[in-house]
Amino acid sequence: MTKLWGGRFEGQSENWIDEFGASISFDQALAKQDILGSLAHVKMLGHTGILTEQETTDIQTGLLAVQKKLTEGDLQFSIENEDIHLNIETFLHEEIGAVAGKLHTGRSRNDQVATDMHLYLKDIVQETIKKIRTFRKVLVKTAEAHIETIMPGYTHLQHAQPISFAHHLMAYYGMLKRDQERFEESLKRIDISPLGCAALAGTTFPIDREYSAKELGFSAIYENSLDGVSDRDFILEFLSNSSIMMMHLSRFCEELILWCSHEFQFIELTDTFSTGSSIMPQKKNPDMAELIRGKSGRVFGNLFGLLTVLKGLPLAYNKDLQEDKEGMFDTAHTILTSLEIMAGMIQNMKINTDIMEKSTEKDFSNATELADYLAGKGMPFRQAHEIVGKLVLQCTKQGIYLQDIPLEEYQNVTPLIEADIYDALASRTAVKRRNSLGGTGFEQVRKAVNHALKELSDSNT
């Protein structure tokens, strides 16, 4: 079969070479966008008089017929036509004959594929923003129900200070808010049309790039044709933003995995998001959380893969750029599915509030409370820190905790300690009193939750 670009060539390539060079196995995912781009392009060609009214109508009719077949699943893509562009053009030729060849007037596959990817990512990023927002709603609603649920706060995975569970959840709310903002900000760099940049230098035909951009819903056009066909920054930015978000999801999943272990028992994931063992009947494994944690690696890899492809490419188009798509498609699928699963896991998990709170009562996470208590009585904090450290050491040797030390012993250490020390050492008191702006105090967490609810009530947030 003669290639659509084959006029320059005498020989025929072998099938295995065609298979290696073809991208149709994956870039068929751009079929919808490719047809939309062609519809806008032919309309522009008619608008500028480059094609006759009849030619324009014939091509539009043919493209709409191909679009209908695509929607109905009636198109069979072939490796012989190597990519989505040549496949669609072949289908169009089958519909309307030789006039189909006039569709490619004033454009190249270089600006065509770039246009397809801009359209694709515009849709994906908007869908991602919606799913992030849905997950943020789940987080804040769960937090609203657990403002006064107490859990250990950790540093170095060691009990540090007791905190509100809602406060912990709202930390992830903040991360997801920043993730959403990054995707929103990236849209202005995705929402640019390269159509009409042609191969690299523009075209001699009197095209109207602003017209076709408007037809496709783009808010701007590339001002430099070389940049328009060679730019993949918008994909890198998508992969980067996705990587940061997946890192956040992975951190959260790591905690969920710990929390539902026998050692913690803070939460229980529903059966929907768990699996069993083929040999151990008792097992309930947090596989969905583990998969998201694992899939973060493939998203990171897609980012580094494209960075590596691009780092040595001269302007303008190079066949290496065929490697820009599979990682983009994979990342898009991965993040959209991960967000949906995360929202479901958090919305439906069982939270063992009693176990969470009890885990703060037999530890030394109230040590800072004692140091703050002494500092509040006028003792320099460094001196208070040293005294409390020695008391903790003494307790560990005796197998007791700070709240178990008799008042008389406390007063032998320093007369600043009075009977109210035991209330100060209580986990609930410790959390309640940390009322600094952005702190874990119940009043501050309630303000944060209410602020988040107000944010989410705004359809643009």
Q: Are residues 187 and 275 in the same domain?
A: yes
Supply φ then ψ for residue 156, to 5 degrees: 55, 25
pLDDT digit string, tens, across residues 178-214: 999 999 999 999 999 999 999 999 999 999 999 999 9
pLDDT digit string, tens, across residues 214-226: 999 999 999 999 9
What CATH number is given to the structural domain containing 78? Answer: 1.10.275.10
Instruction: For strands 158-164 and 192-193, give the pairing.
Output: unpaired
Query: Which pLDDT score, from 0 to 100, does residue 25 have?
Result: 87
Query: Which pLDDT score, from 0 to 100, does residue 16 have?
Result: 58
What Rg do the C-alpha atoms of the chain give, in angstroms? 31
For residue 460, name the pLDDT band (cuts at 50, 70, 90).
low
d(CA 346, CA 355): 18
Q: How many domains does the chain have?
A: 3
pLDDT digit string, tens, across residues 373-388: 999 999 999 999 999 9
Residue 131: helix, strand or coil by DSSP?
A: helix
Say if residue 1's pLDDT is above 60. Answer: no
Query: Which pLDDT score, from 0 to 100, does residue 438 have?
Result: 97
Where among 54, 85, 105 does a domain terminate? 105
d(CA 47, CA 212): 10
pLDDT digit string, tens, across residues 320-331: 999 999 999 999
Query: Which pLDDT score, from 0 to 100, does residue 119 have?
Result: 98
Residue 6 included in any domain:
no
Instruction: For strands 267-268 and 220-221, give the pairing.
Output: unpaired
Where among 312, 335, 357 does a domain terminate? 357
| Orientation of helix 326-348 relative to helix 109-144, angle to 10° | 10
Do 365 and 160 touch, CB atoms closer than 8 A? yes
Query: Which pLDDT score, from 0 to 100, does residue 69 have?
Result: 97
pLDDT digit string, tens, across residues 86-132: 999 999 999 999 999 999 999 999 999 999 999 999 999 999 999 99
Q: Cβ-count burial of 382 within 10 angstroms (0-12 exposed, 13-18 middle, 19+ buried)?
A: exposed
Q: Are residues 122 and 227 in the same domain?
A: yes
Q: Are residues 246 and 391 in the same domain?
A: no
Residue appearing with tokens 């609930």:
428
Q: Are residues 116 and 73 in the same domain?
A: no
pLDDT digit string, tens, across residues 397-420: 999 999 999 999 999 999 999 999
Say if residue 461's pLDDT is above 60. Answer: no
For residue 22, name the pLDDT band (cuts at 50, 70, 90).
confident
Higher pLDDT pick, 353 / 17: 353
Do 165 and 231 touch, CB atoms closer than 8 A? no
pLDDT digit string, tens, across residues 304-349: 999 999 999 999 999 999 999 999 999 999 999 999 999 999 999 9
Q: Are residues 334 and 440 in the same domain?
A: no
In this prediction, residues 33-58 reach a mean pLDDT of 98
365 catalytic per annotation: no
Q: Are residues 343 and 271 in the same domain?
A: yes
- List all residues 6 or more positions away from 1 whose beta carbon is below 8 Å from its beta carbon: 80
274 catalytic per annotation: no
Q: Are residues 179 and 291 in the same domain?
A: yes
Say if residue 272's pLDDT is above 80. Answer: yes
What CATH number is given to the structural domain containing 197? Answer: 1.20.200.10
Q: How many CA atoms lie within 13 A of 241 on its CB side?
A: 27
Residue 7 included in any domain:
no
Say if residue 47's pLDDT is above 60. Answer: yes
Q: What is the pTM of this model?
A: 0.92
State in Å, rounded, how far the first CA of the chain is from the last one: 53
Instruction: For strands 267-268 and 350-351, give the pairing.
Output: antiparallel
d(CA 119, CA 117): 5
Q: How many CA atoms lie within 13 A of 261 on its CB side?
A: 10
Say if residue 19's pLDDT is above 90. Answer: no
Residue appearing with tokens 């944690």:
293
On average, the pLDDT of the chain sits at: 94
Catalytic one among 13, 219, 261, 277? 277
- List all residues 6 or more positions away from 62 whose beta carbon is below 8 Å from its beta carbon: 92, 95, 96, 100
For residue 459, name the pLDDT band (cuts at 50, 70, 90).
low
Say if residue 20's pLDDT is above 80. Answer: no
Query: Which pLDDT score, from 0 to 100, does residue 9 have?
Result: 56
d(CA 7, CA 114): 25
Residue 262 included in any domain:
yes
What CATH number is given to the structural domain containing 373? Answer: 1.10.40.30
Torsion of CA 380, 421, 401, 384, to 10 degrees: 0
pLDDT digit string, tens, across residues 426-442: 999 999 999 999 999 99
Q: Are residues 100 and 120 in the same domain?
A: no
**Token representation of residue 77:** 């893509």
Residue 362 included in any domain:
no
Residue 116 included in any domain:
yes
Q: Are residues 144 and 86 in the same domain?
A: no
Q: Are residues 119 and 100 in the same domain?
A: no
Where among 51, 71, 105 does a domain terminate? 105
For residue 266, name the pLDDT band (cuts at 50, 70, 90).
very high
Give the chain's largest Cα–Cα span: 101
Domain span at 430? 367-457
CA-wise closest residue to 261 among 286, 239, 244, 278: 286
Residue 1 included in any domain:
no
